[in-house]
Amino acid sequence: MAVATKTELFGENSAGDVMSYTVASATPVPKGTLMRISATPRTAIASSLKGQVFVGIASAEKDSLDDSTNLGVWQNGVFEMTSSGSITFGDTVVLSSAANTVEVGASTASSAITVGMALNDAAGNLVTVRVNK
């Protein structure tokens, strides 16, 4: 599974404004995974469908054997991501139906489902995105 690659982090101490989410203890999550909200209270899983509510990018590796149920996600920075379809700089991008992939969203897309803004034209199935949740 392709994951997002951190380019630059913003926020306090340039740390990416990490927010903690509950995750399943037995589910592995690679660092850089695009995460979506899955349940209340504040529970997240890897993205897999278009239109899901994006919460951020996994800031650490989550091993399936570590029994941990918390994972921090970056919410403020620039990341290189796998793209689907044509994306032009300035486009709003949303989660795609393929795991860990983004595509163009409607200019009126809800901020809840918006991943961010494309900072370049997608090339070779990669696009650089400014994420700010």
Q: Is the C-alpha dihedral spanning 82, 14, 91, 29 positive or negative?
A: positive
Q: How many CB atoms lie within 10 A of CB 104?
A: 20
SS3 63: coil
CATH number of 77-132: 2.40.300.10
- Given this chain, do its domains 15-74 and 77-132 carry the same CATH topology? yes
Fold annotation for 15-74: Virus Head Decoration Protein; Chain: A, (2.40.300)
SS3 12: helix
What DSSP element (H or E) covers 102? strand 101-104
* Tens digits of pLDDT across the chain (133 residues): 589 999 999 999 999 999 999 999 999 999 999 999 999 899 999 998 999 999 999 999 999 999 899 999 999 999 999 999 999 999 999 999 998 999 999 988 899 999 999 999 999 999 999 999 9
| Domain edges within the chain | 15-74, 77-132
pTM to 2 decimals?
0.95
Phi first, then psi: what are they for 89, rounded to 5°?
-50, 140
